[in-house]
Amino acid sequence: MKRKISVLLSLLFLLLLFWAQWNWKHLSSFPSIISSFYSKEYCSCYFVMELSEEQCHDFARQWVPITEFKLDKDNQLVTVKGLGKTNTAKFQSKEYGCTLVNEP
């Protein structure tokens, strides 16, 4: 019985490793999704819809918490760090909204 359980657990572990290898591209892009989503949604909420800072934090909040947030009202930039990745969204216009800024 113990042998069956250990074989089953080993097989399950190998399947998990195979799945992770097969989906590595998608898994590795997940950390940047958190900060890019939060920065773009907050930027749109604050500069396009002109809601308060508290309302926009509630609007953009996710299950995975962010670690750093910076709102630059003068340059109309929102910078967010989450899961080790930093992304910035910039307000373009009322019609175009906000876009993510590519940083080197």
Residue 81 lies in a domain: yes
Range of the domain at 87: 30-101
Residue 13 lies in a domain: no
- Show the beta-strand stretches assigned E in the chain: 68-72, 77-82, 85-93, 97-101
pLDDT in tens, 38-83: 999 999 999 999 999 999 999 998 888 889 999 999 999 999 999 8
Residue 86 lies in a domain: yes
Residue 11 lies in a domain: no
Residues paired with 85 in a beta bridge: 82
Q: 44: which 2 tokens?
A: 């749109």
Residue 12 lies in a domain: no
- Distance of alpha carbon 45 from alpha carbon 58, whole angstroms: 10
pLDDT in tens, 7-16: 889 889 889 8
Report field, pTM of the whole predicted structure over 0.85: no
- In the chain, the number of structural domains is 1
